[in-house]
Structure 1
Amino acid sequence: MATPKSLVSALYDHWDTVEWLAQLSREMPSFEAEHVLAVVARLAPAASPDQQQQTLRHLVNADILQAQPRGQSYQLNTYVLEFVRGLTREHELGLSAVLGSRINAITDATRKLNEGVQGRDMDLLRQSANKLSELFRQISQQLDGDRHAILELAERAKAQQTDMPIARRYREVLDAYDNYVAPMAAMMDSGPGGTFYRHLEQAEHALDNAVDVLTVQGALYTQRLALRHVAYHAKELRRLGREVLKHCSDTLLPLREEVRQHNVLSAAISALLGRVRKRGLNRSLPVSELPLWRREMSRSVSVGAEVLTIMSEARAYAPVLVGFPEERAAGAMPALDLVDEQALTASLRAAMPVANLLDWLRAHYPHLNDATLLRLYHELIARDDWQAVQSGVASSVTLNTVRVTLYPHAIEAA
């Protein structure tokens, strides 16, 4: 048998293969060697046959795949399968009886907790608190897993082919509702018949009482803190139970109602069609027995006033004349500015430091238009050849056609 350390290492090295096999385990309880090799080849197309065989041997030696006692097939290690399904949220729906037995076990642990408080038996008190904490953890884990299992079940039912009979398509949904959601709803009933909230409330009161008694007796802070954490877990478990039950009911109830309505409608239609086939349409559905809304009524079709108005406006429609501007002459196009940027950069570097870059450009290049000056300004302050420092005082610079108000940049040597 492989050590846990080697198992975890092999699980890390071949996680994709193990995850794929865990998904296939829903349809195939055991795998032949050819199936495992096919999965390895699909996930690693570049691997040679020897490397695929080595991966199979590694999984077997690490005890991730276990050989069947009779035959040449393999199955996933139970603990590995549960671990992978827990991480990938691919849970199987649990049994309501298991959840009910764990809830009933809370009563026994609560009774022992009260006995430990009354008899001042710290060992019994600690053991009972640990037992309650473990039960709360198991119930929370099962509720969370069952919620994801319900969602997976509903999505799988919706993804089935639409031409499949609806009773067969939603068979798992009906089984899950009857065998899990309905017993769970009865168990979580807030009335006297429910056990979930009643047992949790008793355990919560017992834990709070134990914390108060230990505080009066001057017990260690760690002991009181441990009991307080268990009490908080009980409160959180009550909230989680309500949330999971509501989520499961909201997911499965619409599908269940769809199946029931479809069954009633299908039965009525089948009975009516059978009667029509045997007795004929006139004898099966006489006019005197038809519902009121099925009687023949005279109908007339008329055109409303709105339609007449639209038609009259359409007949009198006249297109609106739109005057387009005349084409500009070739000489009227604006001239493009040609700028020797290397010479401009050299001139700016020679004039450093410059207190106001835009004012300097306007003074040295007055023949350039305003768009070119602003473009050069933004390009020069973004260069790394020097340092651009923005002033905190606004100033105005008058260009050829516009006046620009800005917080000017000063150019200094880097």
Structure 2
Amino acid sequence: MIAPRKLIRCLDEHWTLIEWLVERSQHSSFSVQDVQHLIQKANPQYSSEQVFKETQRLLQLEVLIPLAKSSQLELSSTILEFAQHLLHEEQLGLATDIESRVLELNRLSSRMAQAASQRDSRELRRFARAMDDRIREVLKQFAQNEQAILSLVERAKADESKLSLARRYAAVMDAFDDYIEPVLLLVDINGAFQHSISSIELQLTEQIQQIEVTGVLHQDKESLLQLRTRLLEMNQVGRESLSRCADLLMPLRDELRRNTLLSRNASFLLGQMRKKGIEHTLDPLVPGLRSDAQKFSLGSANQITSYMAELCQYQHDAYEVPDAIDSAHASLMQVPEVKDVLRKARTIKQLPDLSRWLADSYPELPVDELLFLYQELSRADSLKLEHQQDASQLDVQGYRLTLHPFRSSPEGH
């Protein structure tokens, strides 16, 4: 068994090395020579023999662990998690991690209710402590995921590489798709998270009232009160954390959406130039800046001489113009403004389905832009829409969307 004091002393002496290895662990493993080089870099006064001894010390204390069937090394998972927590470099978890803990809370609450009905104080306390541990784990998971998303956003904004915006924001978009949206469904008012919280809170309230009436298990009343308070705190903290994460990611998502639309239109325009030529493509788009009198005006002798001299030295330059991404459109894509769409929607007396109305009103709009308008209009208070529980399917440009439709509320008209 490794002595804790030796391990803590080793981490303290080589903390600079640990920071470098934590950053390295996010991308790949490392070799013994890499570790020795980093030790020498952090401690220039070390001799070769000292560097070798310190490397062996890290291996003996299991700070570094060899990979299976390989000469490469990695940081111990315990040390890595500990260092990431101190450095605020948490890895983004999954919505299923939170969901599994909520399911475990349901199981423990049923066991605790059974213990309360049997008036078994010992089992009641055991399951109450287990539920308290699970709630703490969920709170910790929310905090870690929020910190991980904050780190992703900061790295994406600070990235000065020449990669495209989609490549730079790839991790941010994955975080939105893999964490924000599933957790939004989970904590929705009709989701599993909210149902579980409500049922467990109701059960704890009934148990507390039963103790107050009968006086049985009165010594456990305080622990049940604390458990209910922590449960409600978990519900509030989760919603607030999710709201902050969405506020961090939405500006980057909108920036990527605008950039994608700009790239799509630019590619289409270059493709039209390749097929029709620059003049035939740009003449309908560029306003004329010359009058009829200027078209037929004569130039001076000096202007004509200069023009002829430039023609003598003219050399044709060959340019590679890329093909269009989508040549099916007859003109550049025009995305309507949200305020214009909202004004048009207000003129409709009854909206049976917001998504179908958008698809019928803007059939040429890309799916991502259609969903953006759908999201913005669903939040508009002036439309007074109600979120339906039954899901409906909508086929748009080869995609099948499953949405819970928004319809006009009866009191809104």
TM (norm. structure 1) is 0.65
Residue in 2 that maps onto 1:139: 138
| Cα separation, partners in 2 of 1:44 and 1:110, compared to 1, 3 Å | same
Q: 1:97 to 1:107 in 2, by over 3 A?
A: same
Aligned residues: 291
Q: Structure 1 residue 203 and structure 2 residue 200: aligned?
A: yes
The whole-number CA distance in structure 2 between the counterparts of 1:286 and 1:280 is 10
Query: How far apart are the structure 2 equivalents of 1:6 and 1:228?
Result: 42
Partners of 2:161 and 2:63 in 1: how far apart? 38
Q: Which has the larger radius of gyration?
A: 1
CA distance in 1, matches of 2:120, 2:131: 17
What SS class does the counterpart of residue 102 from structure 1 fall into? helix
Distance (Å, rounded) in 2 between the aligned partners of 1:286 and 1:75: 61
Secondary structure of 1:46's counterpart equals coil
Q: 1:16 to 1:209 in 2, by over 3 A?
A: farther
- The Cα of 1:241 is off from its aligned counterpart by 0.5
Query: Where does residue 221 of structure 2 map in the other structure?
Result: 224
User: How far apart in 2 are the matches of 1:271 and 1:140?
Assistant: 48
Change (3 A) 1:295 1:205: farther
Give the residue type in structure 1 aligned to 2:37. A
Report what 1:175 is aligned to: 174
Give SS of 1:75's match.
strand
Aligned residue number for residue 246 of structure 1 = 243
- Distance in 1 separating the partners of 2:250 and 2:132: 33
Deviation at 1:18, TM superposition (A): 2.2
- Shift in Å at residue 16 of structure 1? 2.9
Does 2:123 align with 1:124? Answer: yes
Distance 1:205 1:16, change over 3 A: farther
> Is the Cα–Cα contact under 8 Å of residues 204 and 234 in structure 1 kept in the other structure?
yes
Identity of aligned residues (%): 31
Q: Which runs of 5+ in 2 are unaligned?
A: 292-413
1:38 match: 37
> Aligned in 2, Cα 1:229/1:78: closer, same or farther, shift over 3 Å?
same
* TM, length-normalised to structure 2: 0.65
Moved over 6 A (4+): none
Give the aligned partner of residue 234 of structure 1: 231
More divergent stretch after superposition (133-142 vs 66-75)? 66-75
Structure 1 residues 21, 285: closer, same or farther in 2, change over 3 A?
closer
Rounded to whole Å, the distance in 2 between the matches of 1:201 and 1:115 is: 18
Compute the RMSD of aligned alpha carbons: 2.4
Distance, in Å, in 2 between the alignment partners of 1:296 and 1:236 is 65
Question: Structure 1 residues 296, 106: closer, same or farther in 2, change over 3 A?
Answer: farther
Residue 25 of structure 1: aligned partner: 25
- 1:134, CA displacement in angstroms? 1.5
Distance apart, 1:185 and its partner CA:
1.0
Give distance in 2, aligned partners of 1:153 and 1:296.
47
| Cα distance in 1, alignment partners of residues 41 and 226 from structure 2 | 48
1:92 maps to which residue? Answer: 91
- Give 5+ residue unaligned stretches, structure 1: 299-414
Cα offsets for 1:121-162 (capped at 9, x unmatched): 323322321221111011111111000100111111112225
Contact 1:117 1:213 in 2 (8 A): no
Alpha carbons of 1:120 and 1:219: their partners in 2 closer, same or farther (altered >3 Å)? Answer: closer
Q: Is the 8 A contact 1:67 1:74 kept in 2?
A: yes
Report the residue type matching 2:265 in the other structure.
Answer: A
